[in-house]
Amino acid sequence: MRILITGAAGFLGSHLCDRFLGEGHQVVGMDNFITGSPDNVAHLMGRDGFEFVQHDVTNYIYVAGPVDGVLHFASPASPIDYLEQPIPTLKVGSLGTHKALGLAKAKGARFLLASTSEVYGDPLEHPQTESYWGNVNPVGPRGVYDEAKRFAEAMTMAYHRYHGMQTRIVRIFNTYGPRMRPQDGRVVSNFIVQALRGEPLSIYGDGSQTRSFCYVDDLVDGIFRLFFSDRAEPVNVGNPGEFTVRQLAERVLALTGSASALQAHPLPEDDPKVRKPDITVARTVLGWEPKVPLDEGLGRTIPYFRALVEQNSPGARTL
């Protein structure tokens, strides 16, 4: 198949490029580098079966030749990014999704939307099932991302129902691994970089809020299976192993050997208190469940950040 992946230079998009190419498919990667990095796809440039197009998907998307699948992953995805770029975040969720769906319709291609556990907001149901409608503050600072993804889901289902398109929706829970940006504001990358630099680890609130952390290879496998499945309704893909933020900090300190302290900060507005996927649908429909435990995934991720820290801070303390 020939696959278009928007957001291809992002953390998840670049790993998806690797997976589809590794399975023998052709990939057209598309990104405007607002939050993606050329470094994430540098190893693919010149490779047979890979093309790259620098383009903003909120504008009309043109791809010459056949396209069999469109995976729409273009969007700022970390709190720092979508709080700094609220309007581009809303535009890529609305206009970008519309343009990506339009291309898929014109090409007769299968479409997969990267949605998020953020559609559940600060959930009142725990763990979260796909049937839960969520508890989102539409006018809060996080609403620009949450509502962009909720709108994108609604548009995807409208194209499925009205145009009869083959569409898929993945609701992604907290994911981590190599190629995350060191300063993207996500808790795993924050903790690892702070620990490696010997800086205090930033704990927001009392650290009792929970998250469920899925290693990137597991997530990509779930997305790959969903793309080739017959499931049109949303599917949670994430690791149901639930940890408090404080527990994560303690694991990072132990695995890096850092003596960094924990430093408390005020809890951001609308920050979810709990987050855990119910993956019954993924298990039964996709035959998928995560395989990489937290310590193993962190052990694969820390060397990536260690190399970045040593490269960018020659005089910094190395651990």
Active site (catalytic) residues: 145
Angle between helices 187-197 and 294-312 (to 10 degrees): 50
Instruction: Name 209's Cβ contacts closer than 8 Å, sequence gap at least 6.
Output: 244, 245, 267, 271, 272, 273, 274, 275
Euclidean distance between CA atoms 13 and 271, whole angstroms: 25
Q: What pairing do the DSSP bridges indicate for beta strands 201-204 and 235-237?
A: unpaired
Q: What is the C-alpha separation between 270 and 83, in angstroms, rounded?
A: 13
Question: Hey, what are 146's tokens?
Answer: 């949450």
Q: Alpha carbon of 171 to those of 16, 129, 146, 166, 236: distances in Å?
A: 15, 10, 12, 17, 5
For tokens 């987050």, name the residue: 275
Distance, CA of 46 to CA of 62 (rounded, Å) = 21
DSSP letter for each residue of 100-149: HHHHHHHHT-EEEEEEEGGGGBS-SSSSBPTT---B--TTSTTHHHHHHH
Question: Whats the size of the chain, residue-wise?
Answer: 319
Query: How far from chain centre, in Å, is Cα 12?
Result: 6
What number of H helices and E strands is found in the chain?
10, 13
Smallest CA-to-CA distance from 72 within 28, 117, 7, 9 is with 7
Q: Collect all residues with Cβ–Cβ distance below 8 Å to 230 and sequence separation of at least 6.
A: none
